Amino acid sequence: MQRLWIDGEPAVEADLIHQLLHPYGAFTSFRVEEGAVRGLDLHLSRLEASARDLFGEPVDARRLRTLIRQAAPDSGDAWLRVSLFSREIRMRNADFVGAPSVMVGVFDAPPPLAGELSLQAQVHERETPHLKHVATFGLMGARRQARAAGHDDALFADSSGLISEGSVWNIGFLKGDHVVWPQAPMLDGVAQALIRRHLASVDMSEARRPVRLDDLGGFDGAFICNSATPAAGVCAIDGVSWAVDPIRIARLQSAWAAEPPEKP
């Protein structure tokens, strides 16, 4: 099975070496279910916006759909990562402006994260936080630090305690049937957007406002979400702990699942 495609052709060693030595680019990743994708419009919009920001020219949505359709299996589940890069951009020549190349990787779908997560709050902000870019050194370092301290993952906040996001996920805080999303510089996740689209269908409401670490005691729960894990409960953030309510988590998962999968 062909695993990696670049601009519709099987990936070649030179392109992979270039990306290893010159890691400048952006990506999105998602589960494919029987050849279809939940929130495909949002993933395509993310790639188009990232291309404009990083390369000065968008990628055509029709082209992206064609490349995704070529790589995605027609049956079963798979995981696709769609990456943007340019062969012309390197450390000594970073001036290129133009449409990027598109690499599509096909992998086994990962299992969701654990059902109850303990998080360690860390002072950290991703570089260019509105982009899903390939600079993952800080994320991996934060996760390693959290796990070495006995937690499952890291939650990011600035020096004032303003909460933003986690290593590879967004976080929502719960007060009864109400969800509060942190307002701070961060990546707006696709799973987060799909839950927001359909919260009303599961009789839940939402708001977006600044949330600080000092505010955690005012909530009665929290959850994380990303494309691999539509919703998983948080049982603790540092010294604040909650009992995870599986019924509320199931309702959040149902909100995500209310978005119908779309064929590329």
pLDDT at 114 > cutoff 90: no
What does the pLDDT read at residue 1?
A: 55
Q: State the pTM of this model.
A: 0.95
What does the pLDDT read at residue 74?
A: 87
Per-residue model confidence as pLDDT tens digits over 189-215: 999 999 999 999 999 999 999 999 999
pLDDT at 221 > cutoff 70: yes
Q: What is the mean pLDDT of the chain?
A: 96
pLDDT at 261 > cutoff 70: yes
User: Which of 54-58, 89-93, 194-198, 239-243 shows the lowest mean pLDDT across its residues?
Assistant: 89-93
Query: How would you classify residue 203: left for phi > 0, otherwise alpha for psi between -120 and 50, otherwise beta?
Result: left
Domains and CATH numbers, the chain: 4-107 (3.30.470.10), 116-257 (3.20.10.10)
What does the pLDDT read at residue 2?
A: 65
User: Which of 88-97, 191-200, 217-226, 249-258 shows the lowest mean pLDDT across its residues?
Assistant: 88-97
What does the pLDDT read at residue 203?
A: 98
User: Mean pLDDT, to the nearest integer, of 39-49?
Assistant: 97
What does the pLDDT read at residue 113?
A: 81
Per-residue model confidence as pLDDT tens digits over 142-201: 999 999 999 999 999 999 999 999 999 999 999 999 999 999 999 999 999 999 999 999
